[in-house]
């Protein structure tokens, strides 16, 4: 089943009350909890990682790093703080080398990204080829900003990338904020997807708590008849 990665982030920033949000919501039906390296100090990020690990949850650390040095720092943080997944940063062979022998799974971003928030540019062929390059160069998988793609149809891009690199090796990140988009993700069946801002916006149930909204997501992903999509 597609994994739900609940991100303690809003508008691409780790929220100030991330600890409190996690403590109130970690009983939701997902094993995977994450945060970004933006909006939070390294010390507080380490404390947040420890809290997530102490609750027996799997840590997904998303970095906006692009330079070699920034991405190496993100990898060092992931190793030091027992993060299971490092996602979202630019691919660098030196990060692959650093992570060798560690339990950290590396899902860097692919394609040409620019701006804040990070949008994805280029032809479908360009993005597919970049995904193939990244996997061939030692990454465990890729992180695809499908719904932030500006140069074509996001669903066509997603289908092409997942066919090329493998659904099991893909995390879809960013802007999954409607039932229709959730339905498309369910159809594509990537390994997982990140969701954060949409939960703060109550996109999957006005007035519902995070655990209640995540339960709705879980129902949509597991319901064979897709009845939850009409809710």
Annotate 23-76 with DSSP letters as a single string. HHHTTSS-SEEEEESSSS-HHHHHHHHHHHHHTTPEEEEE----SHHHHHHHHH
At residue 117 the predicted structure's pLDDT band, cuts being 50, 70 and 90, is confident
CATH of domain 3-221: 3.20.20.60
Phi, psi for residue 220 in degrees, rounded to 5: -65, -40
pLDDT (tens digit, 9 = 90+) per residue, 51-66? 999 999 999 999 999 9
At residue 225 the predicted structure's pLDDT band, cuts being 50, 70 and 90, is very low
- The answer to whether the beta carbons of residues 39 and 66 sit under 8 Å apart is no
CB-hemisphere CA count at 13 Å for 14? 24
Average pLDDT for residues 75-88, to the nearest whole number?
98
- The answer to whether the beta carbons of residues 88 and 63 sit under 8 Å apart is yes
Reply yes or no on whether the pLDDT at 226 is more than 70: no
Phi, psi for residue 82 in degrees, rounded to 5: 60, 40
Question: Poorest-confidence range of 8-22, 39-53, 105-119, 170-184?
Answer: 105-119
Structure tokens at 143: 């992180």
Q: What is the pLDDT of residue 229?
A: 41
**Could you state, in order of their start, the residue ranges of all structural domains in the chain?**
3-221
CA distance 124 to 54: 41
CA distance 224 to 155: 21
Average pLDDT for residues 112-125, to the nearest whole number?
90
Cβ-based neighbours of 21, under 8 Å, separated by 6 or more: 8, 15, 210
CA distance 48 to 54: 10
CA distance 107 to 60: 10
Q: What is the pLDDT of residue 124?
A: 97
Do the strands 9-10 and 13-14 form a parallel or antiparallel pair, or are they unpaired? antiparallel
Structure tokens at 33: 């909890």
Reply yes or no on whether the pLDDT at 178 is more than 50: yes
Q: What is the pLDDT of residue 79?
A: 98
Reply yes or no on whether the pLDDT at 167 is more than 80: yes
Structure tokens at 99: 């992570």
Per-position DSSP letters for 154-204, written without gaps between them: HHHHHHHHHHHH-GGGEEE-S---SHHHHHHHHHH--SEEEESHHHHTTTT
Mean pLDDT rounded to a whole number for the chain: 95
Structure tokens at 17: 């009350």
Q: What is the pLDDT of residue 139?
A: 98
């Amino acid at each position: 089943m597609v994994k739900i990665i609940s991100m303690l982030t809003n508008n691409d920033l780790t929220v100030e009350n991330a600890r409190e949000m996690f403590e109130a919501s970690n009983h939701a039906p997902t094993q995977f909890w994450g945060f970004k390296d933006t909006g939070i100090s390294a010390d507080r990020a380490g404390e947040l990682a420890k809290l997530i690990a102490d609750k027996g949850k799997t840590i997904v650390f998303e970095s906006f790093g692009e330079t070699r040095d920034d991405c190496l720092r993100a990898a060092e943080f992931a190793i030091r703080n027992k993060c299971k997944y490092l996602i979202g940063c630019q691919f660098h062979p030196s990060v692959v080398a650093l992570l060798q022998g560690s339990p950290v799974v590396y899902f860097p971003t692919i394609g040409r990204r620019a701006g804040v928030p990070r949008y994805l540019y280029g032809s479908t062929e360009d993005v597919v080829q970049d995904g193939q390059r990244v996997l061939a160069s030692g990454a465990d998988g890729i992180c695809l900003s499908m719904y932030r793609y500006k140069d074509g149809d996001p669903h066509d891009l997603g289908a092409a990338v997942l066919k090329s690199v493998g659904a099991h090796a893909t995390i879809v990140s960013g802007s999954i904020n409607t039932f229709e988009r959730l339905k498309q993700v369910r159809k594509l069946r990537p390994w997982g997807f990140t969701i954060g801002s949409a939960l703060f916006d109550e996109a999957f149930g006005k007035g519902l708590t995070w655990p209640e909204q995540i339960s709705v997501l879980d129902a949509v992903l597991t319901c064979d008849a897709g009845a939850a999509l009409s809710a």
